[in-house]
Each structure stands twice: as structure tokens, then as C-alpha cells.
Amino acid sequence: MSKELLGALSALEEEKGIKKEVVIEALQAALVSAYKRNYGQSQNVEVDFDETKGEMHVYSVKTVVDDVTNDQLQVTLDDALQINKGYELGDEIKFEVTPKNFGRIAAQTAKQVIMQRVREAERENIFDEYSKYMDELVTGTVERQDTRFVYVNLGKVEAVMGAKDQMPNEVYRPQDRIKVYVTKVENATKGPQVFVSRTASGMLKRLFEQEVPEIYDGTVEIVSIAREAGDRAKVAVRSNSSDIDPVGTAVGPRGQRVQTIVNELHGENMDIVEWDEDDAAYIANALNPAEVVDVIFDPDNDRACTVIVPDYQLSLAIGKKGQNARLAAKLTGFKIDIKSETEAKEFLANQKATTEGDSTDEVDDPNDTAEPEEPAADPDNPDTNEPNED
């Protein structure tokens, strides 16, 4: 029995990575529980495990006192001195109380507790392992799908992919091998829960790192990503070396690098644009493929601007259902209002007339502070940076 137990402990540690100490602790707790259930005493019981022989012994721990009021918890000083002359009041003495039939009784009671501890240790190991994959790409196999999730087998754990993390242009079938991005790992009561996604911007970044060595080693850096998964994405890149073109590097020879990513995402279009420290240049790049004539920043909102484009490129700049403008805004972090040159001229003319009228009102009533605030109510007004004449 002892050899079998030691062998089982070694096997658990070797095969499942569960340390012997964890199982031994579970054994001790289980045996105390079994003793309490079968013999009605546990508050002063300890279980010792001999790791060399694999033997278990139950001890009743008693405190040395002058006057015994509970013989299960206490022992007199006279009795203690008969055991060892060195005992004093307040010392604790262990008395072995292992019943002859305790092994059989304890085994039945301890089994569930031990298995629970083993499962907990396994869950902790899995949680620790998959926590390392946070914000990383992993490959799994689709197992099944219900109204809430697609379930992806990652090996030791079944990950879940919610509706918002599923690509609208993809169909997931059992046994499909797919790449997924780990967004969250939780140590839930029923075990580790791993959440994965194919729509997260982080997935796109990791795909570029896989396909573009210069992005992986940091020579070319992805500054920002704006993505409407399954349809279109914009990726802003910059080079940390003056000799390397960041856009050309990310696209690859004949577009091979970016095409590999497009294929992985089943046709999601990619716009690779160059990041620029000049906000106006960056916004113009972000609206690619449209041509930008001018970028006018709102003086009342440092994250808003009006972009002027040629009349014939207004639709291209805005994009289908506003997608190009929307992605450019997400990419740059600016609120972008797009106007054609004709619209801009009319807009500027109207604003000039309004501003002149406001200036006249100010001369008539210099104490009136309400009127100058009117232009600031329109964050898209490009002329509110014109000072009023005193």
C-alpha cells in the first residue's frame, strides 16, 4: 500500500505537473475529515505522512495542564512527565490514535477530497499556463457551436469565442483549425475559462508580426489599428530606421505579406498607411486612398478637424456607408468632418459673414460676453480661430 501510494504521488507529479506536497496536503486534510466523521473528534487531530515509507499516522494533540477539564484535549503535568521529564505546562504532546481499520474507512472518505484537491491543482496549472498566452495568437480546433459561443479546443482547455469575437464573413465547422487571439483568462469555479477572438485588433497586430520580420524585431512599428473585422482595416506604421520604408515593408514584395494576412482573415481588406508626427499629414495618410487638399483643426477641440478634399473625391474620402472616414477617425483619434472644396468655400463664406456680424455686435455692446461664444458651439467651425477685433 505504501509503495503504491508513493508511486501514485510520483506519477501525478511527473504526468500532470502536480507537486507531491499538494497531494500530501490533500491527503492530510482528507484523513482529518475521515477521522472526524467516523470517530467524532478532529479539533485536536493531526495527520503525519511519512514520505519515505508512505505511511500515515493519526495523532491526538493534547495540552499539558494542572487540572484536566477535557481529557480529549488535555493531559496532566504528572502524566506528561512520565512520558518525558522535559515537558512543562502549556506544552503540546502528540498521542498516536490511528485505529486499526482506519485505512479502509479513510480511503473511502478521503477519495473525493483528494480528487477535488488534485482537480484544483490541475486547474491552477492550466490557468498559469494559459495566462502566459494573454494577448497572443494560438491555434485551436473548432469543436462545436451554440447560440452563445464557438468552442475551440486549445489542448488542455476549451476556449470560448463570443458572437462579437466571431468574424461575420466566416463559418466555423467542427474540426476546423483556426488561429485565435487570447483576450482573457479567468480562474472560474468550474475551472479556467479562456476567451478568444478573431475580431480583436490585437490579432491583426500578431499576424503582422508573424509575417513581417521587421515588425517582429521592432524595426517597423505598428502605431495604431482601426478595424471593422471581416470587412476592412487600417494599420498605421512607422519606421525606426531611415533606410526602411514602413509601408512597403509591411505590404511586402508584390503585396505578398499583406495578402497572406488578408487570406487568413478571409478577404478582410487592408489599408497600410504611414504614421506621421505631424497630425495633419497623419490624418491625410489615414484617409488613403482619397487625396486631401487641406486639414483645418478646430481651435475649440484639439481632437477635431475639418478635412477638405477635391469635389470628385468626396465619396471616396467618406467611403461606403462612411467606413473610410470612420476608420480614419479611429486610427488617428481625431473627430474628422470631411467637406468637398465647393462645400468648404461656401462654409467659409457663411462663417466669415457670421463672424463679421458678431464683431459688429461686440462693438455696439462691449459688455456682452454671450455672443462671442456662439461660433464655439459648432466644433466643426474652421473659422473660430479668427480673433475678434476690439
Pairwise CA distance, residues 51 & 5, whole Å: 10
**Helix (H) or strand (E) segment spanning residue 292:** none
Angle CA 10–14–19, to nearest 5:
70
| pLDDT values of the chain reduced to their tens digit, one per residue, 390 residues | 456 667 777 777 777 677 778 778 877 887 887 777 777 665 688 888 777 777 778 888 899 998 888 888 889 988 889 888 889 999 999 888 877 776 676 666 656 766 777 777 778 888 888 899 999 999 999 999 999 999 999 988 899 999 999 999 999 999 999 999 999 999 887 788 999 999 999 999 999 999 999 999 999 999 999 999 999 999 999 999 999 999 999 999 999 999 999 999 999 999 999 999 999 999 999 999 999 999 999 999 999 999 999 999 999 999 999 999 999 999 999 999 999 999 888 877 776 777 666 655 554 444 444 443 333 323 344 443 444 443
Tell me the residue type at 247: V
178 near 152, Cβ under 8 Å? Answer: yes
Task: Say what the pLDDT of residue 385 is.
Answer: 40
Neighbours of 211 (CB within 10 A): 18
Question: Whole-model pTM?
Answer: 0.69
SS3 for 92? strand
- CA of 64: how far to CAs of 1, 92, 93, 97, in Å? 36, 6, 7, 18
Q: Which amino acid is at 236?
A: A
Q: Which three cell numbers stand for residue 241?
A: 530606421
Please give the DSSP secondary-structure letter assigned to residue 254.
G
Length of the chain (residues): 390
CATH class of the domain defined by 139-197: mainly beta
**Residue 373: alpha-carbon gap to chain centroid:** 44
Residue whose entry in the numeric block shows the C-alpha cell 502524566: 79
- Residue whose C-alpha is closest to residue 232's, from 296, 275, 289, 188: 289
Domain range summary for the chain, segments of one domain joined by + = 2-125, 139-197
- Among 141, 138, 136, 207, smallest CA distance to 172 is for 141
Nearest 5°: the CA angle 195, 199, 201 is: 100
What are 138's strand-pairing partners? 180
Beta strands 92-96 and 158-162: pairing type?
A: unpaired
The class that CATH gives domain 2-125 is alpha beta
Give me the pLDDT at residue 109, please: 61
Q: What is the DSSP letter of 50?
A: E
User: Phi and psi at residue 10, in whole multiples of 5°?
Assistant: -65, -40
**Quick one: how far is CA 202 from the chain centroid?**
10
What span, in angstroms and rounded, lies between the C-alpha atoms of 377 and 1? 84
Bridge partners of residue 307, in order along the sequence: 295, 338
